[in-house]
Amino acid sequence: MSLEKNTEAVGWTRDQMAERAALDIPDGSYVNLGIGIPEKVARYVPQGREFIYHTENGLLGMGPTPEEGKEDPDLINAGKKPVTALAGAAYFHHADSFAMIRGQHIDVCVLGAMQVAQNGDLANWSTGAPDAIPAVGGAMDLVAGVKTIFVITQHTTKDGIAKLIEQCSYPLTGQGVVSRVYTDLCVIEVTSKGFELVELAPNVEFDTVQDRTGAKLLDPRNLAEKS
């Protein structure tokens, strides 16, 4: 599952997306992982680094899923799945937990997305459909309070519709909050000038990524040539 060995496939798998995102998290970071692909980041801590995982329901020092039969209904993550507490862990109540988030003590948060706009706006809680039951959880607190917000998402929807776009059409989770986006095709930095390519996944062409992106994608290689 190493990034280097995958020379045949086009693009990254979900695990490789998580592995790539983990590479950008500095040693010693306090990290909050969203539900879904972001949870996989915990499997790919780069060698020599230590991350401390925060789960907003009241635990710092969250460890992996327990062995079967060792689950404790009192020890769960924000996705309400059984987890473990590592040596050095701490429990605390919800207001303290969100003080860690809202008070800018958590360094990195990795979240999923429905849409990301070129100015860093994020929509990941509601499609705004009238019959949907609205549910927000801690997403708005995380994007408002955590220092660095990474998004992991497929580059387009299952129907091929762009998720990285000029302006979000869904209700926002936060304004101008996303730093980087890790997709199956590439890594993109959100800059003051818009989306800028950082890295292409194996066997993916720039033009393919641009075709599947609903906003202008800046290629730093061209920028360098022109200047």
Partner 1 sequence: MINKFSTTAADVVADIFDGATVMIGGFGEAGSPIELIHALIDHGAKNLTVVNNNTGSGHVGLAALIANGQVGKMICSFPRTANSTVFPDLYRAGKIELELVPQGTLAERIRAGGAGIPAFFTATSVGTPLADGKEHRNFDDRDYVMERSLTADFALIKAKEADRYGNLTYSKTARNFAPIMAMAAKTTIVQTSYCVEAGDIDPETVATPGIFVDRIIHVENPLQESTLNAQGRTYP
Compute the distance between CA of residue 5 and CA of residue 224 in angstroms, rounded to an integer: 29
Residues 49-68: x where in contact with partner 1 by CB under 8 A, - otherwise, as a string:
------xxxxx---------
Q: Give the number of residues written for the chain.
A: 227
Select the span of 8-16, 88-96, 105-113, 179-187 touching partner 1 (CB under 8 A): 88-96
Window 187-226: contact mask with partner 1 (x via CB under 8 A) = ----------------------------------------
Angle of CA points 125, 143, 138, to nearest 5°: 55
Across-strand partners of 218? 196
C-alpha 118/C-alpha 188 separation (Å) is 10
Task: Give me the residue label for tokens 């809202």.
Answer: 102
Q: Is 196 a catalytic residue?
A: no
76 makes contact with partner 1 (CB under 8 A): yes
**212 touches 163 (CB < 8 A):** no
Q: Are 94 and 150 in contact (CB under 8 A)?
A: no
Strands 108-111 and 148-152: parallel
Nearer to partner 1, 37 or 146 (CB): 146
Among 4, 8, 67, 131, the residue binding partner 1 under the rule CB under 8 A is 131
Asked if residue 87 binds partner 1 (CB under 8 A), the reply is no
Write out the catalytic residue numbers. Answer: 56
Residue ranges that bind partner 1, judged by CB under 8 A: 55-59, 72-76, 80, 85, 91-95, 97-98, 101-102, 121, 126, 131, 133-141, 144-145, 171-175
